[in-house]
Amino acid sequence: MSAWSWFVIGTFLAVYGVLALLALRRPLLARLAFREAWRGGLQTGLVVAGLALAGMGITAGLVAADSTEASVTQNAYLSMGEVDLTVTGNGALFDASVADRLAADRNLATGIDGVQGGLDLVGAVADLDQRASDTAVRLYGFDASRQRPFGAFHLVGGRRTYGDDLPPAGVLVSRDLADALHAQAGDRLRISAGASSAEVLVAGVVKLEGPGAFGLGRTLFAPLGSIPSLAAAGNQINVVRLSTPGDGLAGIAAGRRSLPAVREAVAGLGVPGLEVNEAKAAQVRQAERSTQSARATLVTMSLLVVAAAATVVVHLTLMLAEERRRRLGTLRALGLSRSGLVFLSVLESALYSLAGAVVGVLPGLALARYLGQVAAEAGAALSGSESTGYQLAVRPETVAVAVSLAAMLTVVTMAAAALRTARFAISAAIRDLPEPASKGGRRWRLLAAGLLAAAGFAIALAGGGAGRVLGATLMIVGATWAGRRWIEDRARYTLAGTLILAWALVVQATTTLSSEDNAAFAVFFVGIVVSVFGLSLVVAANLALVDRFLALVSPRLGATLRAPVAYMTRRPLRTGLTTGAFGIVLAAITVFAVVGGSYQPDYARDSAGFDVIVRSAQPAITLSPALQAQIARAEVIPTRLYLGRFLAPNSTGYAGGDSTYVPLYTLSEAQLANPPLHLSTRSQRFPDDASVWRAMREDPGLVVAAPTFVAYSYLSSRVNTMLHEMERAGIEIVHMLKDSEALTGIISFQQSPETLSGPREAHRDR
Amino acid sequence: MGGDDSQPMVVAQRLRKVYRGATAVEALRGVDLEVRRGEMVAIVGPSGSGKTTLLNCLSGLDRFDGGRVVIDGADLTTMSDRDRTAYRARNMGFVFQAFNLLPVLTAVENTEIPLLLQGVSARAARRRAEEMLETLGLAQRARHRPDQLSGGEQQRVAVARALVHKPAVVWADEPTGNLDTEVTHVITELLVKTNREGQTIVLVTHNPQVSERASRVIRMRDGRIQEAARAGVEGAAT
């Protein structure tokens, strides 16, 4: 269990423990709290259901984050199969005898189940029979004679094979690759990797199981004997795969135990440049790391629900206090202190909160499951690969944290509200009369309003865009509070609501969505909550207009609705809170619906006027004169496929790993002068798009990244960040491509960066 | 209870209370009053004359804007809210027009509230509450909740709650206002009996049937005490 979990659960236990002790010391209050909490079946049910919103939001956020992590981690295990350790030369080829010598090493006999030489490449594959190609395919070369410890390939149709019974030049393709090429068993494929190529036959399509899950996408599995031409001299490999006893974590642990022996054995080979990698552990670590941003996003989104829930809690507290005002007044008259009254409210709210938090778990799990499935399907659709499914991970620790957080959130909110509701005139409360105007407290009110405004000012100064929204809102609230004596309520609330709404909208409108950090998201999040409340306040303060309108339209209806409208008008702040709670939920739904429904990519703009993309594994393509005549404009963008170590910073540290695949597109000097690509986000140090392209010509360390690639791989990489390990000095992302459909990768000037793979070309014709 | 018998139980001097709203209303205009130990004083007067306000200010339920209130030698004027609350718990009992029993508690649980708020142990509080209910003829109804009791029974429970901790003063605001004639008589006799046992009682009432049983009647009008009735009574009138 993490320190954070310990802290949350510990705090929850401490808070509830203290409350329990105090309840034992004050049996009257405990009895009252318990009886009040469980008094009315329907009322209790409604209150608990309202409070369950917070539990549901928090549970959904945390469990969805856990499930995403579990699913991605599971995929990492699936992708690595039985391969726990690898020996590589960082992409360089070395002699296949390295694998034989390691397999024969007696010191490895106990800790290592299997040793296999192989090739791990990225290349292009063309189906010569279907006349279809894919320029980005993982090539998994394996030694079929040593495949057994690594498991059998499961073919579509039910057959299993270790590869040693495939026909000469026979290879296996993943279902994703088969779908992309429309490939069938018996089709002829041309594989191109680096400067080499080979012609092979499709012997079968493999399922996403066992070794066939490698890459989790478009992968070609070839026995080394079927692709000798890809291995330079024909007897070279670039990876030795090692399997240790045990699956999953046990395999990783066994790999770690065997690591010293393997390193010693590799060192004893006398082959320079070889290194031993904890491949599966690194892959799993990377998977876990890559979900940190998703976790932050999911938890932040769930805060929208929590914000709505908090307003419901405040409203419920005020409602309960109002309903029980006479009883509370009686208790005060009989000698219960104000702090005792607060304790009574806290005790009762603790019972409600705990029940609400527990009840919220089930709908939270259902919501997490739904969100996860939607995300998994969207992810699969985005990457164009077979969905590996979504694993709902319900960890007791997470549920305990969710219950603790939700319970404490509502307890704290209700306690804060109880501090307010415990202040009343006893004599008026006893007889349920309206609260008399009080001369006292003005100085305190002014002081508190001043402190609130000062806090708002400090937050506005320190907090960026979101801080400006929140800070100014607090300042407006402070001023509204302070002005109670001088400005009539309706005018005050209308003015405050309008100012809050206007300010939130102005800040949101002037914040660039794709700025260099995550500020836009924070502004959006805070802005939506604040603007909903601003608008709710305006509406609540002016409900009297509804009364007048109804009276004009239908006097009878007006008379009927006068009482409820008057009640709501009398308490604009409370009505605003209630309206706001529903408003936030509606706003969230509306935002998602509108964003999803109104997304209409501008293909003409985003594709920079190009209509057709032709990806070819050949350095050049020849078109027939008839076709040539139809082309108005064509650009050739050479593509190089990088497979190796790659690190990119994101909000949670670094993403990437030892074996990361990155397509690199290089533009010529002429293309940089007249770029064929449309751009979106720009580093602020460049005044316009043209200056970015000019800078790339002068500084080979600058690149442009395609957002799909960045979003797909790292979620939160952004401009002004450095990509490490790709070359000695690193390269810096200075721009994001608008055209995410067309290219997926990094665009650089032709002089940068040096990669390990040979050139490939992508043609864009019109 | 149990102060100097020669000292008055309740002393109010130049008591002023103003309600602030759109226009300020002076509910008490410098009231002077003394209630002796063991007295049963009835405050009467038309609606809006300031009777309930006076009772609330004397009992410490309401703050006042001027003057001074001393109960059994303790000056409420100088007490903090917390001290005043604690003082009420120890030295005052209340009977309200609408009974104001807590609906989630039974009769005996309602009765023991003042004892528990004073820190009396749960066992002792229960015993004393049961004794008090038995005294008032409610032993059979002790385990019933207010909604299972008649109006008269509820008010008797309220009286039991007001007396159970032996307060210095019992304040009763229209104790028979929600009761029929027969039950009014029962409750009035109960208060009179209690008063005869030495309990100081100050009550507000519109009902002559109740006020005529008091040892002194104070008549209020427009925030002032108009007259104090009963021969030989020294109630100050301003």
CB contact under 8 A, B97 and A336: no
pLDDT interval class at B233 (50, 70, 90)? very low
Closest residue to A32, CB basis, from B59, B104, B122? B104
CB contact under 8 A, A430 and B86: no
Q: Which of A366-375, A436-445, A571-580 has the lowest mean pLDDT?
A: A436-445
3-state DSSP call for residue A542? Answer: coil
Mean pLDDT, chain A, as a whole number?
A: 78
Q: Distance (Å, rounded) from C-alpha A344 to C-alpha A359? A: 23
B20-74 confidence digits (pLDDT tens): 877 888 999 999 999 999 999 999 999 889 999 999 999 999 989 999 999 999 9
Which residue in A29, A44, A424, A427 has the most chain B C-beta atoms within 10 A of its own C-beta, making it the best mutation to test that interface?
A427
* Residue of higher predicted confidence among A190 and A750: A190
Q: Which of A276-285, A742-751, B148-157 has the lowest mean pLDDT?
A: A742-751
Q: Which of A99-113, A276-290, A555-569, B128-142 has the lowest mean pLDDT?
A: A555-569
Residue of A nearest to B162 (CA): A334
Looking at residue A476, its pLDDT comes to 92
CB contact under 8 A, B89 and A35: no
Q: What is the pTM of this model?
A: 0.69
Chain B contact present for A331, CB below 8 A: yes
Domain membership flag for residue B46: yes
Looking at residue A620, its pLDDT comes to 65
| pLDDT over 80 (residue B111) | yes
Query: In chain B, how many domains are there?
Result: 1
Domain membership flag for residue B14: no
Average pLDDT over residues A316-344: 88
pLDDT interval class at A583 (50, 70, 90)? confident
Containing A103, the helix (H) or strand (E) segment is helix A97-104
**Number of CB pairs, chain A paired with chain B, less than 8 A apart:** 85
Domain membership flag for residue B150: yes
Chain B contact present for A434, CB below 8 A: no
Domain membership flag for residue B24: no
Looking at residue A617, its pLDDT comes to 61
* Residue of higher predicted confidence among B74 and B234: B74
CB contact under 8 A, B114 and A335: yes
Percent of chain A with pLDDT over 70: 79
Chain B contact present for A439, CB below 8 A: yes
* Residue of higher predicted confidence among A283 and A659: A283
Four-CA torsion B136, B139, B143, B146, nearest 10 degrees: -30
Evaluate whether A702 touches A754 at the Cβ level (below 8 Å): no
CB within 8 A of A37, min separation 6: which ones? A44, A348, A351, A352
CB contact under 8 A, B90 and A336: no
Q: Locate tokens 């064929």: which residue?
A: A676
Chain B contact present for A488, CB below 8 A: no
Looking at residue A585, its pLDDT comes to 73
pLDDT interval class at A193 (50, 70, 90)? confident
Domain boundaries of chain A, sorted by first residue: 1-82+287-436, 85-277, 439-599, 612-765
Average pLDDT over residues A66-86: 85
Q: At what angle do helices A338-359 and A3-25 cross, to 10 degrees?
A: 130
A621-679 confidence digits (pLDDT tens): 677 788 778 877 777 777 766 766 666 665 555 566 666 667 777 778 888 888 777 66
CB contact under 8 A, B82 and A28: no
Cα A737 off chain centre by: 21
Determine the distance in angstroms separating the CA of A50 from the nearest CA of chain B, rounded to an integer.
Answer: 23
Copy the structure tokens of residue A202: 């499709």
A379-392 confidence digits (pLDDT tens): 666 555 666 667 78
| pLDDT over 70 (residue B231) | no
Domain membership flag for residue B237: no
Q: Which domain holds residue B125?
A: 38-60+80-229
Of A18-32, A444-458, A658-672, B15-29, the range with the highest mean pLDDT is A18-32
| pLDDT over 90 (residue A234) | no
Geometric angle at alpha carbon A530, from A526 and A534, rounded to 5°: 170
Alpha-helical runs (H) found in A225-278 = 248-269
Looking at residue A717, its pLDDT comes to 43
Q: Locate tokens 């190089």: which residue?
A: A640
A93-137 confidence digits (pLDDT tens): 888 889 999 988 888 888 888 999 998 888 888 888 888 877 778
CB contact under 8 A, A437 and B61: no
pLDDT interval class at A361 (50, 70, 90)? very high
pLDDT interval class at A605 (50, 70, 90)? low
Mean pLDDT, chain B, as a whole number?
A: 89
Residues of A numbered 350-379 whose beta carbons fall under 8 angstroms of chain B's beta carbons: which are they?
none
CB contact under 8 A, A334 and B94: yes
DSSP state of A442: H
* Residue of higher predicted confidence among A222 and A39: A222
Cα A349 off chain centre by: 33
3-state DSSP call for residue A615? Answer: strand
- Which of A50, A171, A91, A56 is CA-nearest to residue A661? A91
Q: Locate tokens 């006020």: which residue?
A: B211
B172-209 confidence digits (pLDDT tens): 999 998 888 888 998 999 999 999 999 999 999 999 99
Looking at residue A400, its pLDDT comes to 92
CB within 8 A of A713, min separation 6: which ones? A290, A648, A655, A656, A660
- Which of B117, B4, B135, B123 is CA-nearest to residue B70? B4
Chain A residues with CB under 8 Å of B118 CB are 335
Max CA separation in chain A (angstroms): 101
A696-738 confidence digits (pLDDT tens): 777 766 777 665 443 333 333 444 444 544 433 344 555 444 4
Q: Which of A5-14, A472-481, A693-702 has the lowest mean pLDDT?
A: A693-702
CB within 8 A of A356, min separation 6: which ones? A47, A48, A49, A50, A51, A52, A53, A54, A55, A406, A407, A410
* Residue of higher predicted confidence among B87 and A731: B87
For residue B69, CA distances in Å to A671, B93, B172, B236 come to: 94, 17, 18, 15
Closest residue to B100, CB basis, from A35, A330, A425? A330
Chain A residues with CB under 8 Å of B104 CB are 32, 35-36, 39
For residue A492, CA distances in Å to A126, A477, A481, A486, A577 come to: 71, 10, 9, 9, 16
Chain B contact present for A484, CB below 8 A: no
Chain A residues with CB under 8 Å of B161 CB are 334
CB contact under 8 A, A32 and B21: no
Q: Locate tokens 């038995």: which residue?
A: B134
ipTM: 0.92
Output the domain CATH number for residue B49. 3.40.50.300
Evaluate whether A760 touches A618 at the Cβ level (below 8 Å): no
Looking at residue A756, its pLDDT comes to 33
Percent of chain B with pLDDT over 70: 93
Chain B contact present for A335, CB below 8 A: yes
Residue A101 is which amino acid?
A: R
Q: At what angle do helices A442-462 and A464-482 cross, to 10 degrees?
A: 170
Q: Which of A5-19, A593-607, B156-170 has the lowest mean pLDDT?
A: A593-607
- Which of A278, A209, A287, A282 is CA-nearest to residue A242? A278
Q: Which of A55-69, A354-368, A505-519 has the lowest mean pLDDT?
A: A505-519
Chain B residues with CB under 8 Å of A439 CB are 20
B→A interface, C-beta within 8 Å:
19-21, 52-53, 56, 59, 61-63, 81-82, 85-86, 88-90, 92, 94, 96-98, 100, 102-105, 109, 112-114, 116-118, 122, 161
Q: Residue A161 phi/psi, 5° resolution?
A: -150, 150
Looking at residue A466, its pLDDT comes to 82
Cα A442 off chain centre by: 47
DSSP state of A738: S
Q: At what angle do helices A3-25 and A396-421 cross, to 10 degrees?
A: 50
| pLDDT over 50 (residue A754) | no
CB contact under 8 A, B102 and A330: yes
| pLDDT over 70 (residue A187) | yes
3-state DSSP call for residue A241? Answer: strand
Average pLDDT over residues A482-509: 86
Chain B residues with CB under 8 Å of A28 CB are 112-113, 116-117
Determine the distance in angstroms separating the CA of A569 from the nearest CA of chain B, rounded to an integer.
Answer: 18
Chain B residues with CB under 8 Å of A340 CB are 117
pLDDT interval class at A92 (50, 70, 90)? confident
Looking at residue A328, its pLDDT comes to 92
3-class DSSP string for chain B: CCCCCCCCCEEEEEEEEEEECCCCEEEEEEEEEEECCCCEEEEECCCCCCHHHHHHHHCCCCCCCEEEEEECCEEHHHCCHHHHHHHHHHHEEEECCCCCCCCCCCHHHHHCHHHHHHCCCHHHHHHHHHHHHHHCCCHHHCCCCHHHCCHHHHHHHHHHHHHCCCCCEEEEECCCCCCCHHHHHHHHHHHHHHHHCCCEEEEECCCHHHHCCCCEEEEEECCEEEEEECCCCCCCCC
CB contact under 8 A, B97 and A39: no
Looking at residue A597, its pLDDT comes to 64
